[in-house]
Amino acid sequence: MRIFNKEPSFDFMGKRKLALIMSLTLVVISIGSLATRGLNFGIDFTGGTLIEVGYSNTVDLGEVRETLAGAGYDDAIAQHFGTSKDVLIRVPPHGEKSNADLSSDVLNALHVAASTDEVEMRRVEFVGPQVGDELTEDGGLAMIYALFGILIYITLRFEKRFAVGSVAALVHDVVITLGVFSLLQLEFDLTTLAAILAVIGYSLNDTIVVFDRIRENFRKMRKGTPVDIANRSINQMLSRTLVTSVTTLFVLMALFVLGGEIIHSFATALIIGIVIGTYSSVYVASATALALGINKQDLMPVKKEGEGEAEGVGDLP
Amino acid sequence: MNQYPVWKYVLIAAVILTGALYALPNLYGDDPAVQVSPLRGAPVGEESKARVIDLLKGEGLPFKSFEQVERGMLIRFNNTEDQMRAKDIIDEKLGDSYVSALNLTPATPEWLASFNAAPMYLGLDLRGGVHFLMEVDMVAALRQAGERYVSDLRSILRNEKVRYLTIARVANDNAVEIKFRDAADRDTARSLIRKEFPRLLLEEEARGGDAFLVAKISDQELREIKKMALQQNVITLRNRVNELGVAEPVVQQQGENRIVVQLPGIQDTARAKEILGATATLEFRMAVENADVQAALAGRPPVGTRLYKERNGSPILLKKRIVVTGDQIIDAASGIEQQNGSPTVFISLDSKGARKMADTTRENIGKPMAVVFIENKIDTRRVDGELVKIKKKIEEVINVAVIRDQFSKRFQITGLDSTDEARDLALLLRAGALAAPIEIVEERTVGPSLGQDNIDQGVNSVIVGFIIVMIFMVVWYRVFGLVANLALAVNLVMIVAVLSMLQATLTLPGIAGIVLTVGMAVDANVLVFERIREELRSGNTPQASINAGYDKALSTIADANITTLIAALVLYAFGTGPIKGFAITLSIGIVTSMFTAIMGTRAVINLVYGGRKVKKLAI
């Protein structure tokens, strides 16, 4: 089976002005939301305590909240998690009591209140403020180092304008994915951060595949403007881009539906990121490289390393 | 065309077989087991082994096997019912000096274990348990060190009759400042301190007509103090964790001032926190010779004495007056006595403790002295729905030794039975010494039901995602899709094999990483297959198309995977916990998928199409 029986010939690059407007709008909205609403950081970053309990029967959140308030935690947030028997309780850092004992305290209060119902501790997470700050810092650093490592590798393997193009696409993807999280106020925790970094890896993968073909075509095709060549390359890779995105989305859907509540935000971030990433590897990356004036001469193999460069890394099968 | 030399097939087969071998232990599941560990110095040998076996046989409880493991015994059972009963029996009959824990032990058959093959190591989010990150208060550790120097310097100046005006700790500089009336006193003090405490950096200062001497703790010593504070806490925590009877506890240093404690299978975190947070102290007391223990046992101890119990439970009478307490111990280390090679424990006291110890021992040569280990525990229990905190004080005589000489600042306890005993005693002495305060800065607890849910959901999503992708690939690429699916399955086996070999921890995000790799591993094949289609479209022969497809897609695949690998490695370097788990499986998946998707599929395609005339490809 195939989508296109012959090579498609969509004029992707002809619509790059339109794409630019769309991307800019999305990025501006995202940054706006990040600036005003911010991210709904989980306790990994803010510090605090998270307690997940399972009741043997459906439980009324109002009662749980009353119990918590009675125990002196009126700032605790309780919500159902997955089913109406599971409750997730978040307690912000509690001044004097902001220590590890808090969770035992809360669990005890719940045990006492639910005399007829079984309450089962499913999960407790406590992150002290010092750790939260560190995780935020490390997470930010990881993102920046990953982007730099990639920038260097692509500059070495391709050309600096491609590198800028791919990093532009990455920043675009990350900002918009974060923007969606901010707009919908989805919880952002460590696993979500891992997902965002995976989006970087994935989107890059896509971009590089397209760049690889653009480079090949620049060398092979004697005629045609850079825009034509970019267009042709994107069209040639279109069915691969779609097939890979679809298979990856399949497994992510499986993860989203079957992976359980904890993995939800992870799957959500990846799904958003991959949809955006597929779009950006077509439009943002190539359009940026074109806008920076990529041309034939830049991509001609350098004489000395000529062959190795054109033939690829090695002679594996 | 499109034929592989034999050695490539051999190589591929060898890699796949090795992978299958190391992935195999994961299919065997776990045996329910009971682990019995000795508490403190209790022996583990043939005798205790025989006792446990007798106990079980006496109750008619069948067990699968009995193994001697590191510092303990492991008994495997056929089912959890036997396991539970066995634990109850052992807890009841074996006595207080042993602690038992329920355990799930991999049922890897011996022939596999002989290859060092073992199942994947599941993270706490999958098996349930507690993860604590504890931070040692280094500021307090340095303050303690500074205060110790203040008291040491004060006492040597007094002893040597050097006159000084004030002596105090300079908080920010980790130094001690001594003020003298004149420069002459200062110079005497200076040479004295240099002789007695050669490690201190001395500086002279003159301010407002007074003579000052600043004794600074060197950077190297500061580092040592911090290291010591951390190690002391690690040791204390290890001891306490042993008491909890956890099957595979982890107590590990992390960075310069943190300690990770992982207790798989523990659900009662409140109790775990209490035991980990218990404080211990030591007391050195004189023992009463020829005491009337019987009278004391009957409740009439002689005046000025108190009844204690030794490790083995036998009673002993000690004097009420305390010679030295634990917070006066600076260090305790086990070693070998040079003269006769017997195991010994070296102890250093601070100046106050040293003076008291010297006075006492001078008058009591030839008499026995005892070391009492005291633990303060807080037990929280629910009584009629009310939370009651019960303070418990456990006192135990851990050593009795005869004083042979007058003790000074440093002395040793000899006459210990074994190096193990010496090590344990040193551990306890250090645990009872003044430790830098410690605080829990992160806790992650996963209940057993959630752990199992996580495993189920993780495995389900891998399987379902896998099947959908496989169906898609066959519909889309027909024979080539089948080949890609074969590669995908092998890839999954390889990921499991590498994870098992490295004994890397598999976490829920790790499973997510595997799911993602399944999606991305297909990409390499998609690239190749699309290229082959292109080549066919431009009129090339099937054989040439296959060849060109693989050749031309290679550099693209390599570039794409290497960049993703960069991202994964950065994640691994900077990430903690969940992120690391994700990065590990992602990295492994990228590497194995390169092998299976390129070399593996090519080998099969070559077998199917290679070396013959092909009119049409099923792609």
* Cα–Cα distance measured from residue A279 to residue A270, given in angstroms and rounded to the nearest whole number: 14
- A264-282 and A160-183 helices, crossing angle to 10°: 140
Q: Do A254 and B443 touch (CB under 8 A)?
A: no
Q: Are residues A57 and A20 in the same domain?
A: no
Of the residues A95, A111, A127, the one at which a domain ends? A127
Strands (DSSP E) contained in B294-452 are 305-309, 315-325, 329-336, 343-349, 368-383, 386-402, 410-413, 438-446
Q: What is the pLDDT of residue A28?
A: 96
Q: Give a three-class secondary structure readout of A86-118.
A: EEEEEECCCHHHCCCHHHHHHHHHHHHHCCCCC
Task: Give residue B137's pLDDT band: very low, low, confident or very high (50, 70, 90).
Answer: confident
Contact flag B447-A240 (C-beta cutoff 8 Å) = no
At residue A301 the predicted structure's pLDDT band, cuts being 50, 70 and 90, is low
Question: What are the residue ranges of helices labelled H in B59-182?
Answer: 80-93, 110-113, 124-127, 138-159
CATH of the domain at A285: 1.20.1640.10
Query: Which secondary-structure segment (H or E) carries A32?
Result: helix A16-36
**Is residue B29 a contact partner of residue B104, using CB atoms and an 8 Å limit?**
no
Average of per-residue pLDDT across B349-361? 85
CATH number, domain at A114? 3.30.70.100
> What does the alpha-carbon distance between residue A103 and residue A98 come to, in Å, rounded to a whole number?
10
Which B residues 145-164 touch A at CB under 8 Å? none
Q: If you search the block for the tokens 């110095």, which residue do you land on?
A: B41
pTM above 0.80, yes or no: no
List chain B residues with CB under 8 Å of A254. Answer: 461, 464-465, 468, 515
- Residue A209, helix vs strand vs coil: helix
* Residue A35 and residue A91 in one domain: no
pLDDT of residue A226: 87
Q: Which has the closest alpha carbon to B172: B232, B222, B135? A: B222
Which architecture does CATH list for B278-442? Answer: 2-Layer Sandwich (3.30)
**Mutation site, B263, B492, B570, B609, interface A, largest A CB count within 10 A:** B570
Instruction: Determine contact: B267 vs chain A, CB below 8 A.
Output: yes
Q: Which of A73, A106, A127 is the last residue of a domain?
A: A127
CA separation for the pair B105, B75 (Å, rounded): 10
pLDDT class for B377, splitting at 50, 70, 90? Answer: low
Q: Mean pLDDT, to the nearest integer, of A244-260?
A: 89
Same domain, A136 and A214: yes
Which of A86, A103, A127 lies at the terminal end of a domain, its last residue? A127
My answer on whether A68 and A210 are in the same domain is no
Dist CA B467 CA B532 (whole Å): 25
Query: What is the rounded average pLDDT for all residues in chain B?
Result: 84
Give the β-pairing of B210-216 and B175-180: antiparallel
Question: In terms of DSSP bridges, do strands B121-122 and B505-506 run parallel, antiparallel, or are they unpaired?
Answer: parallel
Task: Name the CATH superfamily for B6-25+447-609.
Answer: Multidrug efflux transporter AcrB transmembrane domain (1.20.1640.10)
- Cα distance between residue B565 and residue B437, in whole Å: 41
Please list, in sequence order, all residues whose beta carbon lies within 8 angstroms of the beta carbon of residue B481, skipping any fewer than 6 positions away.
Answer: B473, B474, B475, B529
How far is it, in rounded angstroms, from Cα B500 to Cα B495? Answer: 9
CA A308 to chain centre: 35
Amino acid B114 reads S
Q: Are residues A161 and A269 in the same domain?
A: yes
Collect all residues of chain A within an 8 Å Cβ-Cβ radius of residue B598: 316-317
Kindly state whether B516 is in contact with chain A, defined as any CB-CB distance less than 8 angstroms: yes
**Domain at B30-103: CATH code:** 3.30.70.260
Residue A17 covered by a domain: yes
Please check whether residues A245 and A232 belong to one and the same domain: yes
Who's near A315: CB < 8 A, 6+ residues apart?
none
Residue B21 has pLDDT above 90, yes or no: yes
Residue B417's pLDDT is what? 77
The total domain count for chain A is 2
Q: Find the helix or strand (DSSP H, E) in which B189 lies.
A: helix B183-196
User: What is the model's pLDDT at position A304?
Assistant: 47
The tokens of B292 are what?
A: 């009337």
Chain A residues with beta carbon closer than 8 angstroms to that of B387: 108
**Is the Cβ of B596 closer than 8 Å to some Cβ of chain A?**
no
Query: How do A187-188 and A40-41 pair as beta strands?
Result: parallel
Shortest CB distance from A313 goes to which of B4, B442, B555? Answer: B555
**Are B472 and A135 within 8 A, CB to CB?**
no
Does the fold of domain B278-442 match that of domain B139-222? yes
CA B569, CA B549: separation in Å to the nearest integer? Answer: 29
| B303 CB neighbour count, 10 Å cutoff | 5
Domain coverage including residue A105: 48-127
Identify which of B132, B127, B442, B118 has the alpha carbon closest to the alpha carbon of residue B264.
B127
Span A142-182, pLDDT tens digits? 778 888 888 888 888 888 888 888 888 988 999 999 999 99
Please report which confidence band the pLDDT of residue B267 belongs to, taking 50, 70 and 90 as the band edges: low
Instruction: Examine the domain organization and report whether A76 and A25 are in the same domain.
Output: no
Q: E strands within B201-277?
A: 201-207, 210-216, 250-254, 258-264
In a domain, A21, yes or no: yes
Q: What is the mean pLDDT of chain A?
A: 83
Best probe of the A interface among B125, B382, B556, B565, by most A CBs < 10 A, is B556
Spatial distance between the Cα atoms of B316 and B313, rounded to a whole number of angstroms: 9
Selected residues 597-616 of chain B with any CB under 8 Å from a CB in chain A? 598-599, 602-603
Q: Which residue has the higher pLDDT, B86 or B247?
A: B86
Q: Is residue A157 part of a domain?
A: yes
pLDDT at residue B45 above 50? yes
d(CA B312, CA B39): 12
B495-545, pLDDT tens digit by residue?
999 999 998 888 888 887 887 787 778 889 999 999 999 999 889 999 999
Asked if residue A88 belongs to a domain, the reply is: yes
Same domain, A159 and A223: yes
> B539: exposed, middle or buried (C-beta count within 10 Å: 0-12, 13-18, 19+)?
exposed
Q: Are A112 and B554 an interchain contact pair (Cβ–Cβ within 8 Å)? A: no
Task: Tell me what the mean pLDDT of segment A243-251 comes to.
Answer: 90
Indicate if A218 and A200 belong to the same structural domain.
yes
Task: Say if B13 is an interface residue toward chain A (CB within 8 Å).
Answer: no
Long-range contacts of A100-106 (CB under 8 A, 24+ apart): A100/A126, A100/B132, A100/B273, A100/B440, A100/B443, A101/B273, A102/A49, A102/A126, A103/A49, A103/A51, A103/B269, A103/B443, A103/B445, A104/B269, A104/B270, A104/B273, A104/B380, A105/A71, A106/A49, A106/A51, A106/A68, A106/A71, A106/A73, A106/A76
Q: For residue B408, give the 3-state DSSP assignment.
A: coil
Give the C-alpha separation, A175 to A273, whole Å. Answer: 10
Span B419-432, average pLDDT: 74
Q: What is the ipTM of this complex?
A: 0.84
Q: Does A112 lie in the same domain as A75?
A: yes
> How many whole angstroms separate alpha carbon B487 and alpha carbon B485?
5
Q: Is the dihedral of CA B255, B256, B257, B260 positive or negative?
A: positive
Q: How many CA atoms lie within 13 A of B8 on its CB side?
A: 17
SS (H, E, C) B2-52: CCCCHHHHHHHHHHHHHHHHHHHHHHCCEEEEEEEEECCCCCCCHHHHHHH
Q: Which range has highest mean pLDDT (A78-87, A260-269, B337-346, B483-492)?
A: B483-492
Q: Is the torsion defined by CA of A231, A236, A242, A247 positive or negative?
A: negative
DSSP E strands, B414-566:
438-446, 505-506
pLDDT at B299 over 80: no
Contact list, A255 vs chain B (CB under 8 Å): 461, 465, 512, 515
One domain for residues A174 and A64:
no
pLDDT tier at B20, thresholds 50, 70, 90: very high
Does the pLDDT at position B593 exceed 50?
Answer: yes
Say whether both A55 and A136 belong to one domain.
no
Does the structure show a pLDDT above 80 at A101? no
Query: Nearest to residue B561, comparing CAs of A278, A205, A190?
Result: A205
CATH of the domain spanning B139-222 = 3.30.1360.100
Task: For residues B472 and A146, give the distance between their C-alpha atoms in angstroms, rounded to a whole number.
Answer: 32
Domain edges within chain B: 6-25+447-609, 30-103, 139-222, 278-442
Whether the per-residue pLDDT at A116 is higher than 70: the answer is no
Predicted confidence (pLDDT) at residue B2 exceeds the cutoff of 60 = yes
Residue written as token pair 């788990």:
B581
Q: Say what the pLDDT of residue A308 is.
A: 43
**Which residues pair with residue B413 across a beta bridge?**
B345
